[in-house]
Amino acid sequence: MDSSEENHFNEASIWSEVKTSLSGTDKDFTKGSIGRAILVLSIPMVLEMLMESVFAVVDIFFVSKLGAEAIATVGITESLMTLIYAIAIGFAMATTAVVARRFGEKNYDKASITAVQSIIAGILVSTPIAIFGGIFAPELLVLMGAEGKIISEFSVYTTIMFSTNFVIMLIFVINAVYRGAGDANIAMRTLWIANGINIILDPLLIFGLWIFPEMGIAGAAVATSIGRGIGVGYQCYKLFDGKTRINLLKEHLVLRLDIMSNLIRVSLGGIGQFIIATSSWIGLVRIIAEFGSVSLAGYTIAVRILIFSILPSWGWSNAAATLVGQNLGAEQPERAEKSTWITAIANMLFLGLVGILFFTNAELLMRIFTADEAIIEIGARCLRIMSYGYLAYGFGMVIIQAFNGAGDTLTPTLINLVCFWIIEIPLAYLLAMKFGFAEEGVFYSIVISETLLGIIGFILFKRGKWKTTKV
């Protein structure tokens, strides 16, 4: 075979792997090329996270037409709901780690039983949150510094989002089951369905187009909840159809307190980790709120744009977590470590390029969402400053997820505690309120803390204690 034929073969082979990753595969990720394994896992995971990021952008795109107060309401609500996301992601991380480990051990029945326990736990946790948040939504907004129109007219958005939080919980947890099993294409399709419905319903319900009622900001919450709810319905259907790597049978539908307690044990570190990380965003929003609705609106739009770029990178990170879990289950720790380094470097380079794009096109990106020059100016400054840390973001998020994939959720928790609570929030307050940097002080504090996270994560991962974690 000459070089041209060999290149053609390789290209065809790679394209075949891409098609396989999108359609589903029974590939054993504990054997063969690590690069191919990363490719097959990461493509649907990247597309899944891209769809998740679209949720963040679509709502703010349409809500921005309702004014700065409406944008601020979405920003405050999202910061409040970080608790829900923290719990959901914590359970999701534990679920991915345990399911991946069981698949690496070839114990498929136990993997299915684990999936059932994670779903039950998600429902049990989301119910009291729905009741509390639905009743006390206005009071929660007041605690965050909201006032006027945000409380009197727009709090209904917060009420609906809290009341339907169970769909957020389940979509995260069940997708984690699929990722742990290596069925990343199902998780991807779930978000395609959910997001497609949200995109269609958002303008119809917000502005009252065609036969639909004009619901204003409440329409955005209803559209998102319906989209995610239908996505959950699709997930549940696929769990029982017998055509995926994870397949639930009647005998798996039992309450296993031993497996659930193990899940909870592993997830506690993940929940704590993300509560620490995401609650820091509540603190940051509270500081920015001191500078008024315009500042908060600019920050909210900029962060949504940033999320749009960073969430696809979580696809790479989730791929690393799955590979780490399955290879540790197969007693191949060195293969798990190599997979992490390759993924981390690739993700770092990708986000570095995104950072350059955002730095050079900040105003243009902001103008997609608003024509208010004051909001554009603040948001553009946020995008430029935050882009300084993109290399560190890319590297750090993969390393953190590798710890989680191994079931070592304690180490990332401690890293987050140091970087976000001990460094980020106090630094943001000092720079913004004491040293006169205003909003920029908050932006710089984020870059500094995320960079430190990447450095500390690298040092601790290199030590290798995560290889001995049992789940």
| Number of domains within the chain | 1
Say which residues have a Cβ less than 8 Å from residue 281's Cβ, sequence separation at least 6. Answer: 79, 82
Torsion-angle region of 182 (φ positive above 0: left; ψ -120 to 50: alpha; else: beta): left
Q: Please indicate, yes or no, if residue 20 is contained in any of the structural domains.
A: no
Q: Please indicate, yes or no, if residue 9 is contained in any of the structural domains.
A: no
**Token pair of 274 as six digits:** 């993300």
Residue 312's nearest CA partner among 57, 20, 26 is: 57
Q: Please indicate, yes or no, if residue 11 is contained in any of the structural domains.
A: no
**Token pair of 381 as six digits:** 């400054």
Q: Please indicate, yes or no, if residue 207 is contained in any of the structural domains.
A: yes
Q: Please indicate, yes or no, if residue 341 is contained in any of the structural domains.
A: yes
Angle at which helices 293-329 and 82-104 cross, to 10°: 10
Q: Give the separation between CA 214 and CA 453, rounded to whole angstroms.
A: 45
Range of the domain at 463: 35-468
Q: Please indicate, yes or no, if residue 4 is contained in any of the structural domains.
A: no
Per-residue pLDDT of the chain (471 residues; tens, 9 = 90+): 444 444 443 444 555 655 655 555 556 667 777 877 777 777 777 777 777 667 667 777 888 888 888 888 888 888 788 778 778 888 888 898 889 889 888 888 889 999 999 999 889 989 999 999 889 989 988 888 777 788 888 889 999 999 999 998 999 899 999 988 888 788 888 988 998 899 999 999 999 998 999 999 999 999 999 999 999 999 999 998 888 888 888 888 888 888 888 888 888 887 888 778 777 877 888 899 888 888 888 888 888 788 777 777 877 888 888 889 889 988 889 999 999 999 999 899 989 999 999 899 999 999 988 888 999 999 999 999 999 988 888 899 999 989 988 888 889 989 989 999 999 999 999 999 999 898 899 999 999 999 999 999 999 999 989 998 887
Q: Please indicate, yes or no, if residue 15 is contained in any of the structural domains.
A: no
Q: Please indicate, yes or no, if residue 10 is contained in any of the structural domains.
A: no
User: Rounded to 5, what percent of the chain is helix, strand, coil?
Assistant: 85, 0, 15
Residue 363: its H or E element: helix 362-367
